[in-house]
Amino acid sequence: MKLSVRKSNELVEVGENLSKGSKLLVLYLIAMMPEGETTLKEMEFSFEDIKSIVNIDGKKRISTFKEAEAVMEELARNPLNFENTEYKDIITWFSKLRFYKKTKRWNFIFHDQLSPYLLELKSHFTMYNFWHTVCLSAHGIKFYELLKRHEFKGHFEMSIEKQKYILGIEDKYKDKEGNTIYYEYKRWVLDKIQKEIALYTDINFEYKAAKKQGRRIMSHQFIIRKNIPQNVAKPKLGSKKSKAMALISTIEEAELLASSSTSQTPVPITSDQDIMETLQSWGGRKTIIDSIVAEYGIDKIQYQIKHAQRIQKEKAVKNLFGWFKKAVEEDYRDPVQEEKVKTAVTKARRIEWNTVKKAKEENLKILKSNKYQEEKALVAQLFADTPTLLEETIIELEKSSKTIRNEIQKGRSPETIFKSVRTQGFIINAIKKDFPKLFQSLELAFHQKKVALEE
């Protein structure tokens, strides 16, 4: 199942300092909101639901109720700061967060002041596939959002201070005077983000210094390109990465990457300077190179450089730059690169089929769990309204269920038998059989959700 995250651009550029588990939970909740929703709805999740989302990439971030509670509390206590020239809003993620001790379920709702940033978005918003974020680090997720926000332009410039603000690390990587230690920020943050985004997502990026103050770099120019994840063939269901569900989540997306020769080819990214030096070494003049790049674009240039390098190895080409120029102008196809793309797309389709199936199974499991909890609540309320019904049901079940008989023989009370995981299902099923109308709306809602899940 493809899950699309939709956020206003303003929300994308708001700084946040959340752990990866909390980020994944928030993004999953946003992705599960139906498109066109006009109001924020209350949500209810069990411990197992939260655990499966927070641990979705295979890493065991939470295994106890206390750890799950810490994730929920992190979202409750880390506000978002929206600021403009007129005012500053400090908004928490949830306006309500309640934990039911008996059922061990959380009930919560996004803060109503987040509505303009999440609902009825018709312009100035960012949309991306949730599954592309699951293998990224916390910083990688936030930076991926930022890149997707500017992807339509293909490039953008941003100050280092704003980058650090968005990543929630304003106070890190600074010297005694409060200036950013550029080498540390580059090494421990940007370079790591760059590698993982290229490894796991549908885009990659380059960056270079844009503005300087003396020798100090003040801002970066970012260049964004389409990408086929380098490890698209590596994850296997059952491995640690399998719960990420999909690196490319739909066949259509894989085909989009393969549909043109300019963005799909897995050619190593080189800088503009490297391209200039390579083509000049082949005999090209700077003015002609600049003209070719301006007319045909950097991606096609990279494709044909690799093509020319391969041809040169197979047979000597007297005028390599001339051959390259003609290849660009006449759009020569490189069978080696084309075969790599074809192989990558085929593998992506295979992974997509398996991982989408796994995703549906996981989500169906959550749906069934939620349905069971709602059924249990209905039955419990029915027993509260009709005090003798529980005992009567258990006496009737004693005739056909050995498990119930054993519990009665052990002297268990009707209330204890109903609470027992071993016997509760028998009792709920018996009530559903005797009072079918009570569960009609619940069954209908479950059926509709299941159909939507399978689409």
pLDDT tier for residue 360 given thresholds of 50, 70 and 90: confident
pLDDT digits (tens, 9 = 90+) for 132-162: 899 999 999 999 999 999 998 899 999 999 9
Amino acid 187: pLDDT: 92
172-201 mean pLDDT: 92
Q: State both tokens at 359.
A: 């995703």
The answer to whether the beta carbons of residues 33 and 127 sit under 8 Å apart is: no
Q: How far apart are CA 445 and CA 440, in angstroms?
A: 9
Amino acid 230: pLDDT: 64
**Mean pLDDT, the chain, as a whole number?**
85
Q: Is 113 or 346 the better-scoring residue by pLDDT?
A: 113
Q: Is 260 or 388 the better-scoring residue by pLDDT?
A: 388
- The residue type at 36: G
Global pTM reads: 0.57
pLDDT digits (tens, 9 = 90+) for 245-272: 333 333 334 434 443 333 333 334 345 6
The answer to which of 110-119, 217-226, 262-271 has the lowest mean pLDDT is: 262-271
Amino acid 249: pLDDT: 38
pLDDT digits (tens, 9 = 90+) for 335-345: 988 888 888 88
Amino acid 338: pLDDT: 86
415-424 mean pLDDT: 91
Amino acid 229: pLDDT: 76
> Would you identify the CATH topology of the domain 1-124?
Arc Repressor Mutant, subunit A (1.10.10)
CATH number of 135-227, picked from 3.30.470.10, 1.10.10.10, 3.30.2130.10, 3.40.50.2000? 1.10.10.10
Mode of pairing for the β-strands spanning 125-129 and 105-110: unpaired
Q: Is the pLDDT of residue 222 over 50?
A: yes
Q: Is the pLDDT of residue 199 over 80?
A: yes
Q: Is the pLDDT of residue 48 over 60?
A: yes
Amino acid 262: pLDDT: 37
Q: Is the pLDDT of residue 232 over 60?
A: no
The answer to whether the beta carbons of residues 94 and 111 sit under 8 Å apart is: yes
Neighbours of 313 (CB within 10 A): 8
The answer to which of 52-56, 124-128, 315-319 has the lowest mean pLDDT is: 315-319
Q: Is 19 or 271 the better-scoring residue by pLDDT?
A: 19
Residue spans per domain, the chain: 1-124, 135-227, 272-332, 348-454
Amino acid 253: pLDDT: 42
Mode of pairing for the β-strands spanning 88-91 and 80-83: antiparallel
Amino acid 1: pLDDT: 52
The reply to whether domains 1-124 and 135-227 share a CATH topology is yes
